[in-house]
Structure formats: structure tokens, C-alpha cells
Amino acid sequence: MPGMIRPSNNASMAADLIIYNARIVNEGRIFNGSVLVKAGQITEVHEDSPGNNTLESYPAMQRLDAKGKYLIPGVIDDQVHFREPGLTHKGDLFTESRAAAAGGITSFMEMPNTSPPALSMDLLEAKYELAASKSLVNFSFFMGASNDNLSEIRKVNPKDVCGVKVFMGASTGNLLVDDPRALEGIFAESPALVAVHAEEESIIRANLHAYQQRYGEAIPVEAHPLIRSREACIQSTAKAIALALKYNTRLHVLHLSTAEEVGLFDNATPLTQKRITAEVCVHHLWFNATDYARLGSFIKWNPAIKEESDSLALLEGLKKKYIDLIATDHAPHTLEEKQRPYGQAPSGGPLVQHALPAMMEFVRQQKISLPELIQYMCHAPALAYHLEGRGFIRPGYRADLVLLDDQVEWAVKDQPIHYKCGWSPFRDHILHTAVTHTFVNGNLVFEQGVFHEGSRGERLKFDR
């Protein structure tokens, strides 16, 4: 068929390719042009101009006519829970990386609260081995922190591990670091970036006790942002920042959820020079507290979705560079688990397949520009984590590329859902952008709804 290409079976043997007639979105610009790919790398980027016919210069290469679609760098998601090992009834490295590819995500960084949790180098490396055989997209894994594994944290090589994850508030998996001495030791001695889930556990427990006294086991889901309250978030984020300043720790604060937290961060220092960075997740921008009545525990996340004013402040924090990037916190649970009463329903939901199309609605509504969105979801994660050779459309970079069609309208409920759990919090929404092609290291892994599963992603490397 015209415009069709086939991937190789090995990432190191990606076919030479030219993608042309594309609207390239990269480094703050949108321009018409073409991209050449050889051996899994971008070799040339051409901007169209009168009399410049790139195709004539490369007649022997395979060709893909983008037909005016947007060509963007692959999305880099620094916060996912793919549930393997031990929790594979919810998701696994193959199914969730497949869903990520369908959503234009070409690289992920996965959290340690699997079973067993990744609290040692041996357990961490076992996850890398699994991903090398199963993941369709590129991968890295966080080392988990506990009250007593500092000796393992010291072994982390910052060049080939994305970071160390610290739960300052208990979440799924219950890796809670609540010993002040352990927390100080991690911030003082971690050789890699420290990423924190910042919620003050003592406040959450007191709030939960009060609601249990009032409602027993029938706590309404609308109480979730009052139990996991804004005060819990603000206090814990402030504590993490204070520790990072004390020890000059490279700190990344995950999934901000309140307006008040935004002002705790610096917007004057360039991202490449920041020692303290922050992110917001798609669900904290998209949903707000009024949605609990309709969606219940399907939007139960930790930290909790809060007020519309918080969502607006988080978006403004992005635009003003207090917040640096957008992630998903993809955390699938089965439909049966999420339909349990509030106190029994786990927190988290699946997002990687729909995050980019959902955020394109913000572009369509002119809340952000498309170059800004690519900054938040592609460039900034690469810069914040000092990723080698990814996140931009540049010669010499790996060919992680995505084509977007913004001239479509589709209902999420009418299209296949690729998460193993089989449901999406966006089920009732209409979206207007579709991922048509996803390339990982030059290999075509997703094309117009069809997966090409012969290649595997690569382990991410970091220039630290």
C-alpha cells in the first residue's frame, strides 16, 4: 500500500527511512519539512523551501508521506506503574508498553512498587531484564527507597538508572519512608536524582480517622481530597524542598496537585540548571472535584484530584515555568477493584494511551500552544533527567518519532482500549487528535491502529 513501511525485527537494524510532507514540531517551532532516519538514528532534518526537493536527493530510501500531519519527538513519561513483577493481573510490561506506543509515548520510567518492590540492585536489574524482552518502547526503572536500604541506594549508577523513588506518603505498595534519619540519609547520599511522592502521612491518617469516626465504612469518594488533603501535600513538598536545599540533592517532586505548591518552586533558573524540579500529571489538569459525583473511584488518585482552581493554577504554573513537565502516573487496576467501596478501592488509573490526545485538547482550546505541549511532554523530561539522545528531533538523536492527525474526531469508548485492565477514565470523552504512527529507535511499532511487535525498546541512558 502507498505510504506503508515495515519494521525490522531488531532495534539495531531499523530500516532507512525518510518522513516527508510533515509539520515538524520541535524546539519551539512548527515548520514543514522532512526527517531522515538511518540505523535507528535521526541523521538529517530538512525544512522545506522553494526549489529544495529532499526526495530527489534520497531516491533509494523508504518513504513515508506524512500528508501534513504533525511530526513530534516521542513522548517521555517519567512516572508509570506497569505492575510487573507480581501484579500482572492489572498490567504488565508488554501490555502497558503497547498501550504507551499507541499513545505516542516512546520512553517510560517505571516506579518500584511492584511485588517484590525494587529495593535492591538485584531486583532492579531483574526488571530491566524483563523489559528488554517485553517492552515495545524504551525504559528505565526507579530504585525504591525504604527505611533501611540506603546501602543499596548507594550502589545506583546515575548513568543507567533514572533515579531513586521516595514515598513520603504511603500509596499502592506501601513503600513509606517515615524514619527521619532514613530520609535525611537518602537526600544526603543518593548518587542519583531523588523523586518524591510528597504527602504528609500523619495528616492523612488523622483525616482518615476522623472520616471513619463519622461515616464508618461508608466514606463518600468526594471525601478523598479532604482526607489526602492539600495541607498534607503542601507540608510534605515543603519538607522535601528543605531537605534538598540542605544537602544539594537533585530533587524531582512528582504529581503536584495544589495551587499552593506551585509557588514553592523556582521559575528563574533555566531547566538545565535546576536542582529542584516538579511535574503535573494529566489527570490533575483534566479532572477536578466536581467529577467525583460522576466518576467516583475511577478518578481516585494519590495525590487526590482537588478543586478546579487547583487545576487552573497548575496549568498556569506550567506556562510560567514553576512546573517543568507533564507525566501520567499511569497506574492500572482492574475494573472489579475500582468498583469497590471507597475505602477498598485502590488509587490510580490507566492513562498512557490517552494522555497525549487528551492534552491536545488543551491545544485545541488554546489553553497552551502545541510547541509548549511538546516542551512539557518531550523536551523537558529529557532535559530534567539528562537523557542521552532523546526528546528532540535532532541529527544524532534516536529516532523516537510520532505522527499526529489533528483533523479527526473520535469517541474513546468506540475505539480499542489497549490497557490490560480494559477501561479508561476518558471513556465518555470525545477527542480530536489521534496518534497514527509511533517509531521507537527508528522501528515502526504502531501504525493506524495496528501494532508491529517485532522490535523491543532500549534501556535509557543518562548524561550525568
Residues 122-165 have pLDDT tens digits of 999 999 999 999 999 999 999 999 999 999 999 999 999 999 99
Q: What local confidence, expressed as pLDDT, does residue 57 receive?
A: 73
The whole-angstrom separation of Cα 399 and Cα 36 is 9
pLDDT tens digits, one per residue of 8-48? 344 445 779 999 999 999 999 999 999 999 999 999 999 99
pLDDT tens digits, one per residue of 336-364? 999 999 999 999 999 999 999 999 999 99
pLDDT at residue 225 tops 80: yes
Q: What local confidence, expressed as pLDDT, does residue 12 receive?
A: 44
Q: Among residues of the chain, what percentage have pLDDT more than 70?
A: 94
Q: What local confidence, expressed as pLDDT, does residue 178 receive?
A: 87
Q: Band the pLDDT of 61: cuts 50, 70, 90.
A: confident
Q: What local confidence, expressed as pLDDT, does residue 351 receive?
A: 98
Whether the Cβ atoms of residue 331 and residue 347 lie closer than 8 Å to each other: yes
Q: What local confidence, expressed as pLDDT, does residue 176 receive?
A: 86
Domains and CATH numbers, the chain: 74-385 (3.20.20.140)
Residue range 383-397: average pLDDT? 98
- The neighbour count for residue 172, using CB atoms within 10 Å, is 18
Name 371's Cβ contacts closer than 8 Å, sequence gap at least 6.
25, 27, 28, 29, 30
Q: Beta 70-73 vs 62-65: how paired, if at all? A: unpaired
Q: Is 21 in a helix, a strand, or coil? A: strand
The whole-angstrom separation of Cα 86 and Cα 213 is 34
Residues in the chain: 464
pTM assigned to the model: 0.95
The whole-angstrom separation of Cα 75 and Cα 291 is 27
Chain-wide mean pLDDT for the chain?
A: 94
Residue ranges with strand state E in 234-288: 251-253, 276-281
- The neighbour count for residue 444, using CB atoms within 10 Å, is 25
The whole-angstrom separation of Cα 354 and Cα 100 is 9
Residue with cell 500509596: 171
Residue range 106-135: average pLDDT? 98
Whether the Cβ atoms of residue 150 and residue 180 lie closer than 8 Å to each other: no
The whole-angstrom separation of Cα 366 and Cα 362 is 6
The whole-angstrom separation of Cα 3 and Cα 1 is 6
pLDDT at residue 319 tops 50: yes
pLDDT at residue 101 tops 80: yes
Q: What local confidence, expressed as pLDDT, does residue 297 receive?
A: 98
pLDDT tens digits, one per residue of 403-436? 999 999 999 999 999 999 999 999 999 999 999 9
The whole-angstrom separation of Cα 62 and Cα 168 is 50
Give CA separation, 217 vs 199, 203, 210, 211, 212, in Å: 23, 19, 12, 9, 7
The whole-angstrom separation of Cα 373 and Cα 363 is 8
For 47-61, 63-77, 87-101, 268-282, which range has the lowest pLDDT when averaged over its residues? 47-61
pLDDT at residue 7 tops 70: no
Q: Band the pLDDT of 60: cuts 50, 70, 90.
A: low
Q: Among residues of the chain, what percentage have pLDDT more than 90?
A: 92
pLDDT at residue 326 tops 70: yes
Higher pLDDT, 442 or 49: 442
